[in-house]
């Protein structure tokens, strides 16, 4: 296979596709407008400290082990990671905490000690159901080809497996389904939060998303250097297969000739000829014309109302006191329904749920807490309105005060004033244009939403999509799965072209557009 491939954006999905296609013999060039690889998985400098700037949870190792194996390499030779004993620590106030553990029985015991024997039984039933949903969907959906309706997936599963199909619970709401397992509202809130892992509200998401809890329960790993180190490892893997990676190379336009892609034009004016173009970014960037008119017609637009959540993200270097942090920590709001009503109305939450990644915690199970200042990434869910709403200095300060109030209520005290850098939906829109700051593509609201995500193929021959905003879902392992799927589909299409007719594609031109090219 000797096709020329241009990948727009060096996020996890694009790097995965680049490595796999280069390993198959393609001539691959990755073009990234920013100075780093990894898309959202970047590093941010605050107060002299380098802080993980994107995803913080590493699960589903199998996906990355298979990626490296396909390129004759071993994941463990390129990253250093250990399994976390504590998956996450949760608090609702300063009266106590609930930990979930790598050991499922330890989690059940902890739930029982926290909320009683009936809650422990409910947790075991919930965990069993989440596992069943995951096992039903893993191969036909997560690893399968994109389908626009459930029917092809059901055919792959086997139409006679009606029990498995019903087990997915696509028509049941997640919040109501959780109520079948948990009478304690705190536990319902805890496990409802898994919907936010793909940028969705637990009050609008299908019960199917309970599978995320099982994916996390199978193992959470802590990587030295964070997810950015994983992205750099995949970039190195791609380069060893022969791919070229260019940073600071913004793509302005997808070029076409004879009804299919012929390459890309950079903001600098340079033209990169290519038979195949992969857009590793939110499909909204294509649909709104960021890469030219021909590319805009290649994918459907995503209405703003269908966008996933955005986030307020603080990168902080601060002293902490009063709460025993682990690596992953969640501090819940007192009124979860109100929090999501406010977000749906376009407002930031007055009393938000706050996630804190304590980057310097968890290096070893018995490691002492860091002395002095430590590095934190702090996340609060927010509306994806960064393209229509300007976050003023006063609003940024108000959001910071609300976040710190939640932490204080739960017993965690940070420095005041807080040494930090804050990213708002407006800032995310600047990094990832046409999204409003949505960090997960389309929200998974309703039974059909998962089938409405953009797949690898577009309406424009030769143009493909990958990344966390495409099939199968948002998140680091899902972005890698989308990269695997795109590479598989492209290889199949190239083989078909080779057997049917010559595949030489001349260069071409089309209308110039605004520049973009960075991804999640």
> What are the residue ranges spanned by the domains of the chain?
103-218
Peptide bond into 171 cis (omega under 30): no
Q: How does the average pLDDT of the chain come out, rounded? A: 91
Determine contact, residues 75/64, Cβ cutoff 8 Å. Answer: yes
Whether 277 has a pLDDT exceeding 50, the answer reads yes
Question: What burial letters (b/e) apply to 140-166, b meaning 16+ CB within 10 Å?
Answer: bbbbbbbbeebeebbeebeeeeeebbe
Query: Residue 363's pLDDT is what?
Result: 53
Mean pLDDT of 392-405: 98
Give the integer Cα–Cα distance in Å for 238 and 236: 5
pLDDT at 151: 47
Q: What is the pLDDT of residue 370?
A: 76
- Percent residues over pLDDT 90 in the chain: 84
Burial category of 417 from C-beta neighbours within 10 Å (exposed 0-12, middle 13-18, buried 19 and up) = exposed
Reported as a single tens digit per residue, the pLDDT across 414-440 is 999 999 999 999 999 999 999 999 999
Position 506 scores a pLDDT of 34
Q: 110 Cβ partners below 8 Å, 6+ apart?
A: 98, 99, 100, 101
CA distances for 322 relative to 95, 96, 315, 355, angstroms: 12, 12, 20, 16
Res 352 pLDDT > 80: yes
pLDDT of the residue at 500: 57
pLDDT, mean of residues 465-485 = 95
Residue 192's pLDDT is what? Answer: 98
How crowded is residue 131: how many other Cβ atoms within 10 Å of its Cβ? Answer: 18
Model confidence over 311-328: pLDDT tens digits?
A: 999 999 999 999 999 999
Q: What is the pLDDT of residue 168?
A: 63
- Range with the poorest average pLDDT among 87-101, 170-184, 389-403, 489-503: 489-503
Reference 276, options 105, 20, 454; nearest CA is: 20
Compute the distance between CA of residue 32 and CA of residue 16 in angstroms, rounded to an integer. 14
- Percent of all residues in the chain with a pLDDT value above 70, rounded to a whole number: 90
- Residue 509 pLDDT > 60, yes or no? no
Tokens linked to 455: 């797949």
Secondary structure of 418-456 in the HEC alphabet?
Answer: CCEEEECHHHHHHHCCCCCCCCCCECCCCCCHHHHCECC
Q: What is the pLDDT of residue 475?
A: 93
Low-confidence winner among 142-151, 225-234, 439-448 (lowest mean pLDDT): 142-151
24 Cβ contact list (under 8 Å, min separation 6)? 1, 487, 491
- 28 φ, ψ (degrees, to nearest 5): -110, 135
Q: What is the pLDDT of residue 169?
A: 73
Structure tokens at 222: 């802590």
What is the tens place of the pLDDT at every residue in 30-77?
999 999 999 999 999 999 999 999 999 999 999 999 999 999 999 999
- Would you state the pLDDT for residue 29? 98
Structure tokens, 153: 């997936």
Q: How far apart are CA 34 and CA 433, in angstroms?
A: 13
Two structure tokens written together for 39: 């898309």
pLDDT band at 345 (very low <50, low <70, confident <90, very high): very high
- DSSP per position, 26-68: -EEEEEESSSSSSTTS-EEEETTEEEE-S---B--HHHHHHHH
């Amino acid at each position: 296979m000797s096709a020329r491939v241009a990948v727009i954006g060096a996020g996890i999905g694009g790097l995965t596709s680049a490595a796999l296609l280069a390993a198959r013999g393609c001539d691959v060039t990755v073009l990234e407008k920013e100075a780093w690889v990894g898309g959202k998985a970047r590093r941010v400098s605050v107060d002299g400290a380098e802080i993980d700037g994107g995803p913080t949870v590493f699960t589903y190792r199998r996906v990355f082990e298979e990626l490296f194996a396909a390129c004759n390499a071993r994941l463990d030779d390129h990253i250093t990671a250990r399994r976390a004993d504590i998956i996450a620590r949760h608090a609702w106030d300063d009266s106590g905490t609930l930990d979930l553990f790598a050991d499922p029985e330890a989690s059940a015991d902890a739930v029982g000690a926290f909320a009683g024997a009936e809650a422990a039984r409910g947790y075991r039933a919930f965990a069993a159901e989440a596992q069943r949903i995951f096992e039903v969907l893993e191969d036909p959906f997560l690893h399968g080809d994109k389908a626009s309706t459930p029917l092809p997936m059901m055919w792959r599963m086997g139409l006679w497996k009606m029990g498995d199909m019903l087990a997915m619970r696509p028509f049941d709401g997640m919040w109501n389904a959780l109520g079948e397992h948990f009478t304690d509202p705190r536990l319902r809130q805890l496990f409802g939060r898994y919907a936010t892992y793909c940028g969705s509200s637990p009050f609008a998401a299908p019960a199917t998303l309970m599978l995320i809890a099982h994916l996390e329960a199978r193992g959470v790993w802590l990587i030295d250097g964070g997810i950015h180190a994983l992205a750099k490892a995949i970039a190195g893997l791609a380069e060893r297969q022969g791919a070229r990676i260019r940073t600071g190379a913004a793509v302005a336009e997808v070029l076409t000739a004879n009804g299919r892609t012929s390459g890309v034009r950079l903001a600098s004016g340079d033209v990169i000829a290519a038979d195949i173009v992969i857009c590793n970014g939110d499909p909204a960037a294509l649909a709104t014309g960021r890469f030219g008119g021909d590319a805009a017609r290649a994918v459907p637009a995503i209405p703003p109302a269908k966008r996933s959540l955005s986030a307020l993200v603080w990168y902080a270097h601060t002293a902490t006191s009063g709460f025993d942090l682990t690596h992953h920590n969640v501090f819940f709001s007192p009124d979860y329904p109100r929090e999501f009503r406010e977000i749906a109305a376009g407002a930031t939450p007055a009393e938000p749920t706050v996630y804190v990644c304590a980057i310097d915690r968890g290096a070893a199970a018995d490691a002492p807490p860091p002395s002095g200042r430590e590095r934190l990434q702090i996340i609060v869910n927010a509306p994806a309105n960064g393209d229509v709403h300007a976050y003023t200095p006063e609003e940024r300060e108000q959001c910071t005060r609300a976040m710190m109030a939640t932490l204080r209520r739960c017993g965690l005290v940070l420095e005041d004033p807080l040494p930090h850098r804050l990213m708002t939906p407006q800032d995310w829109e600047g990094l990832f244009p046409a999204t409003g700051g949505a960090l997960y593509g389309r929200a998974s609201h309703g039974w059909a939403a998962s089938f409405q995500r953009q797949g690898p193929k577009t309406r424009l021959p030769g143009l493909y999509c990958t990344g966390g905003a495409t099939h199968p879902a948002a998140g680091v392992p899902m972005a890698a799965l989308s990269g695997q799927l795109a590479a598989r589909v492209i290889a199949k299409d190239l083989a078909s072209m080779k057997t049917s007719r010559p595949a030489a594609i001349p260069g071409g031109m089309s209308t110039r557009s605004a520049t973009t090219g960075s991804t999640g």
